[in-house]
A and B are shown apart, each in its own frame.
Chain A
Amino acid sequence: MHLSRTVFAFWAAGLTGHIVLLVVLLTRHRARTFPVFTTLIAANILNSIALYEIALRGSAHTYFIAYFAFASLDLVLQLAVTYELARHVFCPTGTWAPDIRKGFLLLVLTSLAIAFVLACLPSPPEKTILRTLLDRGNLFSSALQCELFVGMIAFSSTANLPWNTHVARIAQGLGFYSLVGLITEAGHNILAGTSIAYQNVTYLRMSTYLLCAGYWIVMLWLPAPAPQELPEEAQRQLFTLQRRVEYDLRKLRALKR
């Protein structure tokens, strides 16, 4: 399979970006905090190398099968990253905030349904089943990610849960990529796979991803703002207040019944 110069340039830039990002994640000790995100980046490196090898030595069909397998893995890992970020925001103490749990579950189910409907709607021109499935799958993934990120922003805002700096940066990158991805995948779903427009739309998606990778490299390299220390007296006060409110609430809950 022949690779054009543009495709090769995108491939090289993507691989370099991912390697640099992985080095940043490991050397700045972010991998411990974001193990799934680190796995996603490592999987992308493996993906780039494997697909390049197959593109050079394998047939177009083998390449497409491998591409489909990696795209599926990417979808699963991206959803896992979203869950990882949600855990950072909504489980600050290790357990899910009870005022969020039900709402979040509802958000996931609604998002799945809307993304599914959106992905089923376009009627693509003549394409192979695998290609159609891939384009629809990508559209589904982008729509789902967009919905989940917006839902997470809304929930954290109404429940007053703060976003840690690095969590927010990863989410911003993924959210922006999903939003652009939604538009490009809409294009992919209605354009013929061999057209120039289809290719340009792919380049747009790749450029956006490179932009996001650059953003992550810089943001994850920079340290998060140093936390302040709460005076001991205030900490005791906070503890007493919580105990007291909890005790009073128990009485109120009993009255409610």
Chain B
Amino acid sequence: MTIRNLDFFGFLFIFLASILGIGTYYYLRNRRRQLYPYGNWDELLKRLAPLDHQNLERIAADPTALAAQDNHWVETMSPEDIWRLLGGMRGIEVMEKNCSVLVDLVFYVQQWYPEALLIAEQLRLNAREVEWHIGRLKATAKSGRPPAAAAEYLQQAVAIYFQMTREVLALYQQGNLPGLADLQRAL
């Protein structure tokens, strides 16, 4: 056997091992989701980390949506207040992780009810974008820039995240989808 063929087999071996490794990992991941069409709730909910929802609600309150006499405290909320109420970097990390779970929850709707495909796909894309925005905020915070620089951006991201959690809960409630009680506890 020539040296070139030996190189070929070496390359082929690495190629096959990578293909099989990556393929098996993702295939099993997909299959596990299909085996639990109603969601392996224990595992899914384990991924949801708790956040102080009262604080989130305060940050998320949209000043334009509130009555004029009530919005004083929102307008005076400083970037430091937002950062503190969210729980700093940990809060952002938790939000990012929870966002990916929300994408999963939409995936389940998409898988159970193909006729809701169009709207569920739109929602999946939106949820992915929220995830991306939060990831971007995390990177900004990690780079050492003061939270004030991104306060408004952060507030909006928190508002969307909070809305999504509430609306997904309502969706599960309306559709009488399984696992609602567990989801309510986790979200």
Q: Which A residues are within 8 Å of any B CB, using their own CB?
A: 92-93, 97-99, 114, 117-118, 121-123, 143, 146-147, 149-150, 153-154, 156-157, 159-163, 175, 179, 182-183, 186, 189-190, 227-231, 233-242, 244-246, 248-249, 251-252, 255-256
Contacts and interface: CB of A to CB of B under 8 A. Distances in A.
B41 to A, nearest CB: 17
B130 A238 contact: no
27 contacts: A114-B15, A121-B8, A153-B30, A156-B30, A159-B128, A175-B23, A179-B20, A182-B12, A182-B16, A183-B16, A186-B12, A189-B8, A229-B115, A230-B115, A230-B116, A231-B176, A233-B174, A236-B174, A237-B167, A237-B174, A238-B123, A238-B171, A242-B123, A245-B126, A245-B163, A248-B160, A252-B130
B118 interface: yes
Majority DSSP secondary structure for residues of B touching A: helix
Contact of B130 (A99, A186, A228, A245): A245
B175 to A, nearest CB: 3
Contact of B27 (A123, A153, A233): A153
Contact of B2 (A123, A186, A236): A123
Contact of B111 (A121, A162, A189, A242): A162
A37 to B, nearest CB: 20
B49 to A, nearest CB: 19
Given A99-B125, A238-B123, A256 B153 contact: yes
A245 B123 contact: yes
B36 interface: no
Nearest to B27: A153
A147 B159 CA distance: 40
Given A99-B125, A186-B8, A252-B160, A231 B174 contact: yes
Contact of B12 (A118, A228, A231, A241): A118
Given A150-B19, A163-B30, A255 B171 contact: no
Q: In which size bucket is the chain B interface?
A: 35 or more
Contact of A99 (B4, B26, B128, B168): B128
A241 B162 CA distance: 12
Given A121-B11, A160-B103, A239-B119, A153 B175 contact: no
A225 B116 CA distance: 16
B170 to A, nearest CB: 6
B58 to A, nearest CB: 17
A255 B156 contact: yes
Given A121-B4, A153-B27, A182-B16, 17 more contacts: A143-B15, A146-B19, A147-B19, A150-B23, A179-B20, A183-B16, A237-B170, A238-B116, A238-B171, A240-B167, A241-B168, A245-B126, A245-B167, A248-B160, A249-B129, A255-B153, A256-B136
Given A122-B4, A245-B163, A237 B22 contact: no
Contact of A153 (B12, B23, B116): B23
A20 B115 CA distance: 31
Contacts of B107: 160-162
Nearest to B117: A92
Nearest to B30: A157
A93 B117 contact: yes
Contacts of A92: 110, 117, 121
A34 to B, nearest CB: 17
A151 to B, nearest CB: 9
Contacts of B175: 230-231, 233-234, 237
B122 interface: yes
B10 to A, nearest CB: 9
